[in-house]
């Protein structure tokens, strides 16, 4: 027993090194692989980018027969299989995009035991004729990807996933592995129950994404802030910018294009064809920015998305985590940046009020929204808050979020709050934030005159703060529940019960200072960032990227399928001079050396 497992380990390690070009296993990949090799089931919860795929790819290559991978994401299968071919792994897929002749060829390859991995959509696998056919084949394992799709309560529920328990009944001897990146404890229990995985080894990792840096800033001048952020941190990187509305998406994409970025819109109001073209461009080219509504992202498996920016508030921490999670799947540093303001709070609270959902549902949604607003307003470590929200033991401050880097200054906002609240009160709780701010700073406009508000005692009593500061103060008062917004009356602000002790001066109130747009993007050095490339290597890095793009285009595959950014960085840093040195670079296996070694060695020589 002992020796058998040792032996299998060394074979697995050999595949890891020679085929995939990695030095050693990560997290608990090794144990998961050993389980499957020994014929046991496994349940794996690992964050995105954690390395789930190798957990089933390696044992599928080592066990006799084909490894069947079930995935709902048909659109990804071609790229996944292309990527495997680049490593020299024998893989194919069967889904609705494969014609009859193609499917016949795949089945023949399985029968001839010429395939290690076969990707299939669940509806395809569950067809009786597919199962009948599979009965006669040798199956190495079943990998059920995106296993959280069995959960009726989750947002990715798939009816067919419930029927996957048939695999256990029909093929009791074939080990199964269920994998997911998004499952809380309840969802894990559901996966075990639905897929009958009671005896499975459990590999539950924290869902934390340490390489993602979180930052949330004031919406005041949000677009300029976005530009500063892009200019400072991502002048040439790919990323996603999320906006709430289609018009904002179009507008923002056009604005970025005017400023010279390769930016494209994506939303549900566009034709299927335009959406496909834009997504394709994003996947195939370097440095593209997609500006999108939340319609974009499901099943996008691009590993080198370097930033996700939100120009508006997500509706819950779950949504925020899922959307920002699309950044940095390759494990390299990535940014999750967001600007948010009072408008977002108003819009969402109004949606909730007007939603047709039942009361219990509305209450939950409301709590989720309030938790998200709380995350925006907090002055302590954001990652800790997120992890605690998901029920994890969060430990120490992360050192890789805006609040850790540059702890927000707070100030005694009692007096300012009183001024703001008196202004609300004196004007009859009938006006929105713009008008109230004008009164406080003493700005006379038509509206002020119409209502004779220049004659009020509160007119001009707030000149010590700027318009932007007052807007931030009002936002914090609304977020904190001291003021409410009356959507039926032009978003008029009203005092709530909680405002009383503040008005009376019976309760202190700390507010956070707003940061200047530039301060928010001040380059921060993270302990987790890779060492920046020295300036003289920058040119080589660009040359390597250009080479990669050309090689990818010639084969009609995304650039990362040729080499990941991390591999190119290593090449730029170490400047390998021979094939042996090249093989030592992480991400270069034997097949890739054979395919691309000469080209990249030449690029290094030319730059030297
Ligand atoms: P997931 O499916 O969990 O999101 P992937 O399986 O796509 O993640 O792996 C993410 C990245 O990590 C890939 O680039 C993969 O090559 C890399 N990776 C996986 N395992 C290792 C390892 N043991 N050492 C180095 N890199 C690894
Ligand atoms: Zn932190």
**Tens digit of each residue's pLDDT (9 = 90 or more) over 555-596:** 988 899 999 988 998 999 899 999 999 999 999 999 999 999
Surrounding ion ligand 2 within 5 Å at CB are 381, 383, 397-398, 401, 404
Report residue 529's pLDDT band, with 50, 70 and 90 as the boundaries.
very low
Could you tell me the pLDDT band of residue 160, with boundaries at 50, 70 and 90?
very high
Which range among 60-69, 286-295, 420-429, 486-495 shows the weakest confidence by mean pLDDT? 486-495
Shortest-distance ligand to the CA of residue 407: 2
Q: Using CA positions, which residue lies closest to atom 9 of ligand 1?
A: 51
From ligand 1's centre to the CA of 130, what distance in Å? 30
pLDDT in tens, 3-12: 444 445 689 9
46 lines ligand 1 (CB under 6 A): yes
Give the closest residue to 376 by CA, choosing from 478, 255, 238, 459: 478
Report if pTM > 0.85. Answer: no
Which of 9, 23, 51 to mutate for ligand 1's pocket (most ligand atoms within 8 Å of CB)? 51
As a whole number of angstroms, the distance between CA 36 and CA 143 comes to 10
The tens digit of pLDDT for each residue in 391-432 reads 787 788 999 999 999 888 899 999 999 999 999 999 999 999
Query: How many whole angstroms from 51 Cα to the centroid of ligand 1?
Result: 3
Residue with tokens 């009958």: 196
When pLDDT is averaged across residues 279-305 and rounded to a whole number, the result is 88
- For the Cβ of 207 lying below 6 angstroms from any atom of ligand 1, the answer is no
Is the CB–ligand 1 distance for residue 49 below 6 Å?
A: yes
53 CB near ligand 1 (under 6 Å): yes
pLDDT at 525 over 50: no
pLDDT of residue 208 exceeding 50, the answer is yes
Rounded to whole angstroms, the Cα distance separating 525 from 391 reads 29
Nearest Cα residue to 561 out of 316, 323, 284? 284
pLDDT computed for residue 519 by the predictor: 46
For the stretch 30-50, pLDDT in tens is 999 999 999 999 999 998 888
Average pLDDT of 295-312? 86
Q: Is the shortest distance between the CB of 565 and ligand 1 below 6 Å?
A: no
Mean pLDDT of the chain: 90
What does the DSSP assignment read for 289-339?
EEEE-TTS-TT---TT--EEEESS--SSHHHHHHHHTTS-TTSS-EEEEEE
Please give the average per-residue pLDDT across 92-109, as a whole number.
Answer: 95
CA quadruple 143, 148, 151, 156: dihedral positive or negative?
Answer: negative
Q: What is the reported pLDDT for 516?
A: 65
CA 492 from chain centre, in angstroms, equals: 35
pLDDT given at position 527? 41
187-191, 308-312, 478-482: which is most confident: 308-312
Percentage of the residues of the chain whose pLDDT score is greater than 90: 66
Q: How many CB atoms lie within 10 A of CB 577?
A: 12
**Structure tokens given for 163:** 């029927």
Please work out whether the CB of residue 95 comes within 6 Å of at least one atom of ligand 1. Answer: no
Looking at residue 139, the DSSP 8-state letter turns out to be E
Are 148 and 187 contacting, i.e. CB atoms less than 8 angstroms apart?
Answer: yes
């Amino acid at each position: 027993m002992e020796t058998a497992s040792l032996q299998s380990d060394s074979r697995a390690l050999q595949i890891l090194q020679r085929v995939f070009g990695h030095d050693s296993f990560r997290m608990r990949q090794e144990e998961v692989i050993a389980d499957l090799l020994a014929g046991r089931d496994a349940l794996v919860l690992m964050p995105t980018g954690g390395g789930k795929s190798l957990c089933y790819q390696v044992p599928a290559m080592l066990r006799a027969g084909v490894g069947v991978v079930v995935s709902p994401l048909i659109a990804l299968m071609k790229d996944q299989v292309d990527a495997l071919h680049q490593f020299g792994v024998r893989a194919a897929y069967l889904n609705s995009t494969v014609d009859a002749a193609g499917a016949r060829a795949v089945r023949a390859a399985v029968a001839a035991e010429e395939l290690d991995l076969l990707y299939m959509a669940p509806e395809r696998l569950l067809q009786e004729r597919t199962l009948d056919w599979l009965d006669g084949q040798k199956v190495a394992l079943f990998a059920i990807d995106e296993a959280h799709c069995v959960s009726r309560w989750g947002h990715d529920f798939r009816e067919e996933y419930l029927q996957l328990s048939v695999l256990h009944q029909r093929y009791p001897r074939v080990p199964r592995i269920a994998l997911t990146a998004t499952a809380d404890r309840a969802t894990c229990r559901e996966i075990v129950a639905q897929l009958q995985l009671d005896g499975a080894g459990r590999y539950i990792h924290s869902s934390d994404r340490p390489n993602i840096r979180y930052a949330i800033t004031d919406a005041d001048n949000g677009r300029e802030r976005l530009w500063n952020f892009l200019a400072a941190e991502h002048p040439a990187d790919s990323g996603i910018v999320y906006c709430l509305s289609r018009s904002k998406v179009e507008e923002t994409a056009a604005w970025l294009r005017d400023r010279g970025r390769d930016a494209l819109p994506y939303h549900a109001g566009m034709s299927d064809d335009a959406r496909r073209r834009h997504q394709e461009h994003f996947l195939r080219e370097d440095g593209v920015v997609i500006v999108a509504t939340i319609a974009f992202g499901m099943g996008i498996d691009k590993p080198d998305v370097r930033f996700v920016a939100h120009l508006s508030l997500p509706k819950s921490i779950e949504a925020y985590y899922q959307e920002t999670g699309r950044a940095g799947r390759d494990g390299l540093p990535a940014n999750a940046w967001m600007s948010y303001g009072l408008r977002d709070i108003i819009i969402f609270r109004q949606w909730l009020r007007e939603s047709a959902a039942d009361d219990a549902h509305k209450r939950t949604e409301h709590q989720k929204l309030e938790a998200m607003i709380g995350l925006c307003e907090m002055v302590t470590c954001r990652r800790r808050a997120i992890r605690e929200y998901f029920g994890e033991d969060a430990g120490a401050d992360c050192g890789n979020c805006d609040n850790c880097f540059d702890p927000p200054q707070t100030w005694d906002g009692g007096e300012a709050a009183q001024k703001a609240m008196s202004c609300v009160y004196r004007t009859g709780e009938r006006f929105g934030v713009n008008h109230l701010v004008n009164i406080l700073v003493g700005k006379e406009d038509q509206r002020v005159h119409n209502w004779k508000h220049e004659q009020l005692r509160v007119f001009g009593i707030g000149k010590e703060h700027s318009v932007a500061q007052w807007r931030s103060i009002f936002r914090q008062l609304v977020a904190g529940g001291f003021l409410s917004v009356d959507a039926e009356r032009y978003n008029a602000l009203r005092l709530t019960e909680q405002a009383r002790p503040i008005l009376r001066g019976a309760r202190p109130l700390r507010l956070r200072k707003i940061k200047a747009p530039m301060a928010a993007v001040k380059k921060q050095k993270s302990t987790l960032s890779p060492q920046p490339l020295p300036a003289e290597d920058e040119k080589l890095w660009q040359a390597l990227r250009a080479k990669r793009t050309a090689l990818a285009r010639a084969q009609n595959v995304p650039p990362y399928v040729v080499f990941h950014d991390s591999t190119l960085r290593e090449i730029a840093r170490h400047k390998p001079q021979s094939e042996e040195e090249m093989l030592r670079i992480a991400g270069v296996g034997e097949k890739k050396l054979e395919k691309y070694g000469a080209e990249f060695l030449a690029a290094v020589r030319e730059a030297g």
